[in-house]
Amino acid sequence: MKNKISIAPMVDRTDRNFRNFVRMINKDVLLYTEMITAQAILNGDLDYILGFDEVEHPIVLQIAATNPKEAYQAVKIAERYAYDEINLNVGCPSDRVSGNMMGAYLMAFPEEVANIVKAMKDATNKPISIKHRIGIDGKNILPDIFERTLLDKYEDMMNFIHITEKSGVNKYIIHARIAILAGLDPKQNRSIPPLRYDEIYRAKKENPNLHIEINGGVKTVEEIDEHLKHVDSVMLGREIYDNPMILTEFGKYYGSEEKINITRKEIIEKMIHYVENMEKQNLRPHLFLMHTHGLFHNVRGSKAWKRAINEANANSETLRKLLKEMYNFR
């Protein structure tokens, strides 16, 4: 599946409500679920965990798995839902995830990742991709059998890619930082390790047959354009969550106009319709509205917007009132 821009999987952020909010602004960008563990799929409420709306296509299911058996079972179950692609998380640096031998921890075990991917491919005909870091620092985490726990060289990353590629993976989404598995929390792991974009550019140059997507620290269209000179696609995360109107600038990546012609007023009108449907189902509007804080990012009306939608009883009527009271809806 070819798509130049994707929105990164983010825990507690890229849920069904946020993804619907994105689709009110941009119909093309590739969406991801939050990271969902295989065990959650095996033991949880499937419609709650895996359900999504038709409008969310194209959409990727990201799973985290410890072994081939649970990966196969989880993907087989997910086949009941019409995801466009399945992604294996080999990049999450959380100690809770690494402690269960998932996420970035698995970069130290490329043969096992290859086995997990093979199992996933046995369960589905959907494309399988891998999201990972450029390397890991596994000090105090990796078993004693490892002579080196700092696997941060370009050659380490390429060894991981070449071994897993043999399992049938063609697409790699690479976060341009190493993951430090002990001593840093996930937020720190998104900022303290330095960005090393050049190594991802090199990976694409030396492996033109692979689809290489770059991730980490991307904030502007100008940065996207620069990255696309070197790689196939770009993944953004928190910038889109904090500043969703940047989605209007992505039309040029999908063969249409430079800027998607939609106003904040039109987006709020769509939001009213969505929240009304939630209310009919006795769902809390807050579960949707909490994802829309950034709609007025860096423009007049931001404080008033956040204050109103943060009210515990904010609902469709709140949005109608805001439409009447606020005038800067460009």
Q: Which residues are catalytic?
A: 92
Contacts of 177 (CB under 8 A, 6+ apart): 133, 134, 189, 190, 193, 194, 195, 196, 216
User: If residue 89 lies in a helix (H) or strand (E), which one and from where to where?
Assistant: strand 85-90
**282: Cβ–Cβ under 8 A, 6 or more apart, which residues?**
none
SS3 260: coil
- Identity of residue 233: S
Question: Whole-angstrom Cα distance, residue 283 to residue 169?
Answer: 39
24: enclosing H helix or E strand = none
Q: For residues 326 and 21, what is the distance between their CA atoms, to the nearest angstrom? A: 20
Please name which of 32, 40, 4 lies closest in space to residue 16, comparing C-alpha atoms.
Answer: 32
